[in-house]
Amino acid sequence: MNKKPKLDELSFDEINAVLVHKWFLSEQARRDVGIDSALYDWISNHSVQWRAKKMKEDSEKQREEIFKHKWFLSQKLGYDVGVQQAALDWIKSGYAEHWRNKTGPYADNKEEK
């Protein structure tokens, strides 16, 4: 790793993962290992797998939301709209943005302005 990782370059969820990792490392070492050490170890050894798992989980949750929208839209229109139409309507109607920013995986990442 060429560049020293910085905590402020991580997402809210990644920072939480680093803090949990710091706790586990500190428990193993029976002393506080420090945030810099935990951050470096997490980036070097765990971040790729953690991010892949997080992306998969977020995608599955998004898919569930689209299927819920498909059901409601189909009920409203009186016919099965199909997944593609439901997904496009979900995005176009602003539900995708709202889900990401208010109730979905990035809800806690926004600072109140």
Same domain, 25 and 5: yes
Same domain, 31 and 66: no
Query: Has residue 84 been placed in a domain?
Result: yes
Query: Has residue 89 been placed in a domain?
Result: yes
Per-residue model confidence as pLDDT tens digits over 1-54: 457 778 888 988 899 999 999 999 999 999 999 999 999 999 999 999 999 999
Q: What is the pLDDT of residue 56?
A: 95
pTM over 0.75: no
Same domain, 62 and 99: yes
Same domain, 29 and 62: no
Q: What is the pLDDT of residue 1?
A: 47
Average pLDDT of every residue of the chain: 88
> What domain range is 13 assigned to?
1-45
Residue 3 half-sphere exposure, CB side, CA atoms within 13 Å?
4
Query: Has residue 51 been placed in a domain?
Result: no
Total domain count for the chain?
Answer: 2
The answer, yes or no, to whether residue 58 has pLDDT greater than 60, is: yes
